[in-house]
Structure 1
Amino acid sequence: MEFQTESHGDDIAVIRGDGRLNMVSGPLLRDAVKRAVDGGRARIVVDLSRVAFMDSSGLGALIGSLKTAREHHGDLRIVAPSAQVSMVLKLSNVETILTPYASVEEAYRD
């Protein structure tokens, strides 16, 4: 899986992946978030609409990425998780930390 990053406004990076978020692709997500933060965009949106599967390694990558963003006075928000990804978030109780949003625009509307 590859992750594409695009700018959204002055300080928001939108990161999109397509495929499976697991132990192979998790480090790639972490790298994408780190590059965005290092580039001055600490407000991160991870679009999960095309991520069909996520395991515990993928969940760890999301949490690690959240930590990276917050260490740089930002935040990480997730958008449009699939049914399987939503189930993993719910079963692990991570949805209380990473609340899913319906769209990129909604994620940082506040």
Structure 2
Amino acid sequence: MAKQGDGLILSLEGDYSAPDGASITLVLAHPTGLAGVVEDIEGDGLQGRIVYVYARDDGSLQGSATTDAEGAWTWTSADADPAREYFVVAINPAAEATDYAPSAINRLNPVTVA
């Protein structure tokens, strides 16, 4: 893919065919979900924390993500509903972890994330 001016040129390589009377549809979708950063009290990102995403209305687990070296995480799902509220809990999965008060964030709505 290469941007050219105000348009977008999409180049597909290979043979693409459909049965007579059928068509091929190309769908481009932006992932929807949540993103954030898990930090310590000094504001330093925490690596390797598991962030669990739950639906706020029924508490069902929707998925999880693991923080990177800067503490950043992203959760995307085809089922993420921008009208639904979610909450997240970040934990340290290490057996030697001493931070027994996991971080929680409440009332989140999914957005388009890159």
Same fold (TM over 0.5): no
Question: Over alpha carbons, which structure has the higher Rg?
Answer: 2
Q: Which has the higher helix share?
A: 1
What TM-score results when the alignment is normalised by the length of structure 2? 0.23
TM-score normalised per structure 1: 0.24
